A and B are shown apart, each in its own frame.
Chain A
Amino acid sequence: MTTTLSQGVPRARYSPGPAMQGVLTGAAALLGLIHRIGTRILMMLVVALVVFVVLRILPVNPLGMLLPATATADDVAALTHTLGLDQPLWRQFLVWLGQVVQGDFGASIQSGRAVGPLILQALPTTLQLITCGLALGIALGVASGLLAFRFLGRPVERALDVGGSIAISVPDFLWAILMILGLGIGLRWLPFLGPIDAAFNLPRVTGFMLVDAVLAGDVAAFGSVVAHLAMPALALALGIAPPLMRILRSSLIEVYNEDYIVAARLRGLSENRILFKHAMRNAALPTLSMIGMQAGAIIGGTLLLETIFSFPGIGSLMVTAIANHDLPVIQGLALTYAVAVLAMNMLTDALLVLVNPRLRLS
């Protein structure tokens, strides 16, 4: 690698000067980004189509819930016409899509409330849980990965390996239940019902309770929210951390075999500087793509955690909607979950490009 560069052979063929090169790289990166976003938007359309078709071919008759048992055939025909159910399926899809794009997901069959605001109201709770779980998971994963790398082949690494295996073997909702049993009921350390203690009355500004508590300047409420978030976030994190630990350790092992680490050592850099300035930057790449790959599992995990800890997020909303066959809500939420996964994939993609200059060219 270093020898070819110093000979300058492969570079000489296309070297339009440093300034020009910078512009070209920027343009290529921008094009790449547009292409990526375009693909994602196309995928979103397909996802919307899938959601629509799957839930429309259900054996559940959407009229059954709306009409009384005494309805006549004329009533059925009239309602079918007002709901547009007598139109061909592709027409129905286009009409539905047009409404969805404008943020109109229809109204919940059960409560009669509009689905859009219903989801928007629940979304911050879920996003807050995902953010906290992800942050905790990444912190645990990176810390244990560094520790395992530092003590390679020693008992500490083996212990971390075994701990990681156990953490990943128990699914997150069972971790949640084990924690409720141990920390919640056994030791009575942490609360596990709802997102905040019922005694607090927090004004809703952003919907993110942590932020709302800060905005209200209420320290006690903030503490209560943190305490209520601790167990679900930890349960989520325990599923995220072990694969991160493994992949970070193995990519650190790989990176330390590279010439540039030897070169950095020869330059007399301290081990800490080598680790954080050189090794970590390169080892971060597979770790980041791992998080992107896990997006679906992480976001799906919140569904059950919210049900167990009675958080009023979109997971609880989904479980109630499924119990009631509330199709408009299920449709809206399935789409929301898909958007969340795609958004998280896009975020990790963008971060990868940001961290890795080599990706900007392709």
Chain B
Amino acid sequence: MNLSFPFPRTPRFLSMLAEPRALFGVLILLALVGVALAAPMLAPHLPNEQDLVNTLLPPMWVEGGMGSFPLGTDALGQCILSRLIYGARVTVIIATVAPLGAALLGCTLALIAGYCGGRVDWLILRVVDVWMSFPAIVLALVLMVALTPSLTNVIAAIVLADWTRFCRIIRSEVVVLRRREYVAAARIAGARHWQVIARDIVPGILPMLISLISIEMGVAVVAEAILSFVGRSVQADVPTWGTMVADGLQNVFSSQWGLILPVLCIVVTVLATTMLGDGLRRSADPRLLGRATHRANTKGAK
């Protein structure tokens, strides 16, 4: 029984770092966190500092660029590099807090639904159905109409729009785990409901939860970018990659750099979370693990 215990033990958990894709994802995300933390030291200018003489400059290595604006300037003469660096702060906060919030809300409801079953389960599932009949973007946008623009409200909107992804999948796992013999054994041995949930069920859903959170990181970053692209995200004076994309698109005919660079930043970040998620899934999914060792064995035999 101990063998089938699905909690990822530390060695196996660390072994995912041996997978080059996951390692690449982790390194990029760590670098992003570093940039966000050290933003005031790294950025050559303040993000909202305008230089109206030098607008729409190209990067310094292109003809016409200036050394003091390494990646050029936007239509208001703001330093693109500095804005990208400060924009990383919003992205990092969103990518860490929003998935955890969505996981917390979704998991709690999933545990209640899956463990209690019956009418509670039915009710929560119907709530999920209603929620999922709105495209997540539309829901987040409507919520942002109701809420004032601020970082906490953006996180709240993303959490409220995306918790269903967690709820539906985790609930079906809980339903399976709840019928396991060790759950019945724990109950017979006198464990209370919350003890069973904490010790026997939560460890079982952790691998799925971790990979869902890593997927949600990318989803949350994109959601924030979309919200700030349509101007419904954080306060207007806080630079975000999404606003930079919107600004860049307005000036796309005179200079493309202001558009390409923030798009690249978003793409690389999302790619990193996808790779991290892939790596985590591979190291957490026993079926894929079996396939990998099987392949290695057959290769060795040849």
CB within 8 Å of B: which residues of A? Answer: 43, 46-47, 50, 54-55, 57-60, 165-166, 168-171, 173-174, 177-178, 180-181, 185, 296-297, 299-301, 303-304, 307-308, 318-319, 322-323, 325, 330, 333-334, 337-338, 341-342, 345
Contacts and interface: CB of A to CB of B under 8 A. Distances in A.
Given A169-B218, A177-B249, A304-B229, A338 B134 contact: yes
Contacts of A174: 245, 263, 266-267
Interface in B181-227: 218, 222, 225-226
Contact of B267 (A55, A169, A297, A345): A169
A185 B226 contact: no
B229 A299 contact: no
Contact of A297 (B129, B135, B143, B245): B135
B252 interface: yes
A95 B222 CA distance: 38
12 contacts: A170-B270, A297-B135, A297-B136, A300-B136, A301-B135, A304-B137, A322-B141, A322-B230, A333-B138, A337-B134, A338-B134, A342-B133
Contacts of B136: 296-297, 300
A158 to B, nearest CB: 13
Contact of B130 (A46, A60, A307, A325): A46
B142 interface: yes
B229 A334 contact: no
Interface centre among A173, A180, A325, A330 (most CB of B within 10 A): A173
A60 B147 CA distance: 9
Contacts of B14: none
A171 B146 CA distance: 26
Interface residues of B, number: 39
A300 B146 contact: no
Interface string B141-171: 1111110100000000000000000000000
Interface centre among A296, A303, A318, A323 (most CB of B within 10 A): A296
Given A168-B274, A337-B134, 18 more contacts: A46-B130, A47-B134, A60-B146, A165-B278, A170-B267, A170-B271, A171-B225, A180-B249, A181-B259, A185-B252, A296-B135, A297-B135, A303-B141, A304-B230, A322-B232, A325-B145, A330-B145, A333-B138
B133 A169 contact: no
A148 B286 CA distance: 24
Contacts of B229: 173, 304
Given A169-B218, A334-B142, A296 B274 contact: no
Interface string B69-111: 0000000000000000000000000000000000000000000
B145 A165 contact: no
A341 B136 CA distance: 11
